[in-house]
Structure 1
Amino acid sequence: MELTYGDVKTASDRISGYVRPVALAPGDAVPTTGSGPCELWLALEFMQHTGSFKARGARNFIQAHRDDGTLSDAGVTIASGGNAGLACAWAARGQGVRATVFLPTTAPTVKVERLRGYGADVRLVGTEYAEALAACREYAHSSGALLSHAYDNPCIASGAGTLMMEIHRQLPRLDTVVVAVGGGGLFAGIATAAHHYGVRTIAVEPENCRALHAAIQAGTIVDAPVDSVAADSLGARRATELALYAAQNYDVTSVLVPDEDIIATRQALWHDRRLAVEHAAATALAALTTSTYRPEPGERVCVVLCGANTDPSDLAR
C-alpha cells in the first residue's frame, strides 16, 4: 500500500484554513559527526488544535467523507490512546458530527477530560489500544457509525503529511526531518512528502515500542512489544503498511532511543525553553541530544515536536 505526494497535496487543499500553520524555532547545538555545528530547527506542532498533529488527519478524514457522501448519520467513531480521539472529536464538533471515542483505561486523565470537553461520548475499554480498537469496531458495526482510525488510514496519514509541506515551505533547503513513530500515520505522511522534496527522514521509536523498526527488520508487519514511558502516544503494537512501504522505498533511517533519554529530553525542553510536551514529542529530539542520530556538520535538520497533551506536574522537579 502506497501513499503519494498527490494524496498529501489534496489533503493540504482540503484542510487549508482549518488548521494552524506550524511554527518553527531554532534549536540548540547538538553533537555532529565532525567539529562543525548543524543547523537545527524545531517544528512546534504541539501548538496545533487539540495539542497535536492529529488535528490535520482528523479534519481531512471527516471532510473527505462528507465530500464523498459517506459520512454516517450515526457520526464517527475512533479508538485512540488520546490524541487521535481528541482530534476526531474536535473535527467532528467543527462539522456538527457526533463522535464516539474508545480509549484504554490507561489513557491519561488530562486527555479523557479534554475529550469530554469537545463533546465526545467517551468509552474506556481494556488496558491496551488493541482492546479499545476491537470495541470500537464492534460499535461501528452495530451502530453504523463511520469508523476512523488513530493512524492506519490514507486520509489520516496524508493529512498528517501536510505538516511536511509547511516545513518545506519555510525551510526549502532542508536536508533531514526527524519524527517520532507510533503506528506510523505521521511518519508515512511526513516521509512521503519528504521524499518528494528530496529530504531524508529519521524515524525515532522508544526501544520497547518499536513497531516500525521491527517491521523493517522482518520485512513485513509483525507484532511488537508495548512498554515505554511514551506508550500512551507511541504504543502501537503494529505499524501500518503505509509506514512500512515508506520505510522500505524512501530515504529513511530507523533509530531507537531508551526511555531514560526520552525523559531527560522532555525535562530539558521544559528547563531550557519552558516547553511542556509529551514524552512522544521528546522522543524525536532525544535521537539528536543523545547522539543516536548524529547529523553532519552543516546539515539542515528539523525535528517535529508533535504533542502537548501531558500532565506538566512532574516537570518542575
Structure 2
Amino acid sequence: MIVCAAPNPSIDKLFIVSDVSVGEIHRPDRLITRAGGKGLNVARAAHTLGADVVAVALLAGHAGRWIADELIEQGVRVETVWGEGETRSSLSVAHAGGQMTEFYERGVNPGPVAWETFVAAVRATVRGGARWLSISGSMPPHIAAEDAALLVHAGHEADALVAVDQHDATLAAALAAGPDLVKVNQHEARDLTGHDDPATAAAALRDRAIAGGADAAHALAVVTLGAEGALMLTPDGRTIHGDLDVVAPYPTGSGDSFLAGLLSANDAGSDWPDALAVALGAATANAEAEGAGTFDAARARALAERARGRVTVNA
C-alpha cells in the first residue's frame, strides 16, 4: 500500500486557450478542474496505475469539501483532516505553440491543532500496512519548513519506507530526517547540492539522506531531466538512466505521475530498472493528457513498454 501525504492541496484549474495577450480578455476553449496539489496528483496517478493507495489530505472550507468529494467520485481513498480558512486554488493556462503559464496560491494557515492532527493522521494511516509513504509538495503557510521532518519520522515510526518530492528549505529539512527515496527535478537538485551534473547531484542527495539516518541498503535518489528522461542512483550504487522520445504539451503533474509510477511499480514487486520505465510511461502519458495527474492507464502501460528498451544500467 502507498500512503500519499498532501499537506497543501489545491483545486487545480487548467484553461486551454488559443493564445494569450497581456491585458486582454480571454475566453477559454476548455476548462479542466482537478483535486490537485502534488500529493493528491501522486495519489490519483497511483490509483490510475492500479496501486492500493490512500491519500491523507489537509483540507479547509468549501473548496476542501469539493476536493474530498472529487476524490471519492474518482475512487481514490482519502483520509481528511480539516483546518482553518479555505483550501487554495491554482491556475494553469495552456495555449497553442506556447509554454504553460501557471499561478499558484500559497494557501492559508491551517492552524496548529489541524497540523498536529494531520501528522498524527499520516502516522495512523501508514500503520494500516503501508510499504511507502509519499510526501510531496509545499508546506502550508505558517508551518515551518522544518516540520517536513515530522512527516518523514511519522512514516519511519510506522515502519514504512518514505519518499519525498519537495524543494528548497522543505527538501533540506526532509533530507535531514533520512528519507529512503528522494525525487527532484534537475533544477531543484542543482539548487540544493550546487552540482550541475545530475549523477553527482543524485549522489549528494543520497549521501545527505543517509547522513540524516536513511538505511544505505534502501536509500536511492532520482533526478528527473525533462525531455531527457530521468537518472536514478540505486542503493547498490548503480546508475540507471531512461527516457522516451515523445514530446507532449501538458507537463504539469508529470513529476507527480513519475513518482506514482515509481512507487506503484516497486510496491508491486518490480526491480528499479523496470520501475523507472513505468515511471517514465506514467509521466509521459500525463503530459499527453489535459489535467495534472490524469492519464489513460493503457497509454501509460504502452509507453512504459517503449521505455523499457531505452533504460540503461551502469555499474
| TM-score, with structure 1 as normaliser | 0.27
Which structure has more strand as a fraction of its residues?
A: 2
Q: State the TM-score, normalizing by the size of structure 2.
A: 0.27
Greater RCO, CA 8 A, separation 6+: 1
